[in-house]
Amino acid sequence: MSASENSILGRARAACRRAYIGVGVFSGGINLLMLTSPLFMMQVYDRVLATRHLNTLVLLALVVVLALLTSAVLELARSAILSRVGLWLDRELSGPALSATVERALRAGGTRSAQVLRDLAALRGFVAGHGLFPLFDLPWTPLFLAVAFLMHPWFGWLTLVGGALLFALAMASEMTTREPTQQAGVAMAAALNEADAALRNADAIGAMGMLPGLVRRWRERQDAALVPLALASDRTALYSTLARTVRMVLQNLILAVGAVLVINDQVTGGAMMAASIIMGRAVAPFEQAISAWKALVSARQSYQRLETILGVSAPAAEAMRLPRPEGRLTVDQLRWLPAPGAEAVIRQVSFSLLPGEALGIIGPSAAGKTTLARLLVGSQAPSSGAVRLDGASLSLLHMADRNAYIGYLPQDVELFSGTVRDNIARLGEADDPAVIKAATAAGAHEMILALPKGYDTPIGENGLVLSGGQRQRIGLARALFGDPRLVVLDEPNSHLDAVGEQALIAAIRSLRAAGVTLVMIAQRMGAVAQMDKILVLRQGAVENFGPREEVLGRLGLVAKPPAERAVPTAATEARP
């Protein structure tokens, strides 16, 4: 597990070092106090039983009880420190991990999955659990080995041989379980992504009877994870059993050798019993490491995936706050490729809008309209070219400026768990009048008041299930919330009825009157009739751009009132 000290993970590891030093000190105290039991046994066998001095026994017992209580306190302190380190890591890394996942999914076309948060939970569980204990106990093995040699060289040599055998078994376990554990991790992540996709598309799955096929596909992916996982578990169990057997054999062998030494008056009976305990303690970290190796490998994989997501360089400095924009939009030679070497989805798109102008984007399916909308609001970074608001590239905008001055209604409206008010306020703090103003501008105020608890109605997980039209109108209110200077709407009327369509038209007129720059992808002529300019997009390139009447005239279309039909596909595909 290596990470640059400039990375988020590297800085988190550096911040944990002081805690790990404390854990190391406590581990030293615990291991030193582990000598209490064998030394007590030696004194009882060699002194108390020989002299029959009960006072000595009572004093020794009190010392042992005090030492064991101290060891228990140190053990609790060590566990508490590691538990809090795990919680601290989760608290420090969960926000950057989620942010990096969202940015990667939007900008680089990455998988839309919460796998990174599961990796963080796995890493936290490993750090907060007992997985690190063998690493802190291992440096104290030479101490027990030295004590065994002091008691008698044969005890030392047997302990050394036992430690070497268990170390070899630990290495063999690592080499034979690493690959299947990694394969299981990759396959399990794929299975979880499949389950995430199923939950996002539950409606379609239920409506079209796709559940049996989905379950079959998921089982195939799950089986791909379970086979190597079972192999790794079997091998871990094999080496754990061998390690336990080796330790038990060595402990009995030490007793046998000790008996010979006692008969020859080279050691005492107490030393013989103490040597068996000391040997077991000396080799315990190796045996524990074998049992915990699978968890260690999984934690290492989680760490590596986190490192990939978070990157190895320090995050860029937060952008400078800029003055409130007027809304002048400039798109310069915009180009976007889904992957290096792939065919461009957006090809050298250029246009400009003055503050308060409204642009309608039309074109056939798969022309790249939704991708262009994402580029215009900065949720995807262009492969080349730039989108500028009042001359400033969107990439330079402070997050607070994005929140205040850009409104966006995506084609597929997703609302968050929370109340209607929370969603309109973009999950931030806001005054009630500002929320009501946005809902009223979107024509959603009356609809929201009709909900069971009005603006305080919970939606999303365990909340009220909204219709497509309701989601779209609340999403429009969210886009209009605050003081946006640029609003981009991706087919905002696709789920609206006649009343919702009229509300949308009224919202468009209000935006234009307020001098807000508007870009709308639309297929219905009623909405297109409200635009100042029209851009026809075909195969990612601008085929036509200009004033509304001029472009529609070239296409043989006439902008009609809001109740009219959608823009015919054949007409949008007609060449000027």
Cβ count within 10 A of residue 188: 20
Ranked by mean pLDDT, the top range of 151-160, 229-238, 320-329 is 151-160
**What is the rounded average pLDDT of the residues 53-60?**
84
**CB distance 82 to 23 below 8 Å:** yes
313 pLDDT higher than 50: no
Between residues 477 and 217, the one the model is more confident about:
477
Q: What tens digit of pLDDT does each residue of 458-468 get?
A: 987 666 778 88
Pair 514, 407: CB distance under 8 Å: no
- The pLDDT score that the predictor gives to residue 463 is 64
Q: What percent of the chain has pLDDT over 90?
A: 17
d(CA 529, CA 497): 18
Going across the sheet that includes 541-547, the strands are 406-409, 486-490, 517-521, 358-362, 533-538, 541-547
Average pLDDT of 18-34? Answer: 87
**Cβ–Cβ under 8 Å, residues 166 and 245:** no
Q: Give mean pLDDT, residues 315-332.
A: 77
Whole-number pLDDT of residue 561: 47
Whether 519 shows a pLDDT value over 90: the answer reads yes
Q: Is the pLDDT assigned to residue 73 strictly greater than 90? A: yes
The Cα 272–Cα 23 span in angstroms is: 32
Distance CA 125, CA 297 (A): 13
H helices of 311-456, in order, are: 369-377, 399-405, 420-424, 432-441, 445-449
**pTM greater than 0.85 (yes/no):** no
Residues whose CB falls within 8 Å of the CB of residue 342, separated by 6 or more in sequence, listed in order: none
Phi, psi at residue 547, to the nearest 5°? -60, 150
- The yes-or-no verdict on residue 69 having pLDDT over 90 is yes
Cα separation of 411 and 371, whole Å?
11
> What's the average model confidence in pLDDT over 511-525?
86
DSSP state of 576: -
How far is residue 202's CA from residue 392's CA, in Å, rounded to a whole number? 41
**pLDDT-wise least confident of 181-190, 397-406, 484-493:** 181-190
The domain limits of the chain are: 8-310, 329-572
Alpha-carbon gap, residue 287 to 276, rounded angstroms: 16
Instruction: Name the one residue in this structure whose structure tokens are 């308060």.
Output: 356
Q: Please give the Cα distance from 553 to 298 (Å, whole number).
A: 63
Contact at 8 Å (CB) between 421 and 435?
A: yes
Query: What is the homologous superfamily of the domain 329-572 according to CATH?
Result: P-loop containing nucleotide triphosphate hydrolases (3.40.50.300)
* Whether the Cβ atoms of residue 116 and residue 100 lie closer than 8 Å to each other: yes
CA–CA distance, 574 with 556 (Å, rounded to integer): 9
pLDDT digits (tens, 9 = 90+) for 444-460: 899 999 999 999 999 87
Query: How far apart (Å, rounded) are the C-alpha atoms in residues 494 and 524?
Result: 9
Mean pLDDT, all residues of the chain: 81
| Residue 184 confidence (pLDDT) above 90 | no
Measured between alpha carbons, how far is residue 174 from residues 183, 292, 298, 300 in Å? 14, 10, 12, 12
Non-local (6+) Cβ contacts of 186 within 8 A are none
Separation of alpha carbons 488 and 358, rounded Å? 10
CATH number for domain 8-310, candidates 1.10.3720.10, 2.30.30.40, 3.40.50.300, 1.20.1560.10: 1.20.1560.10
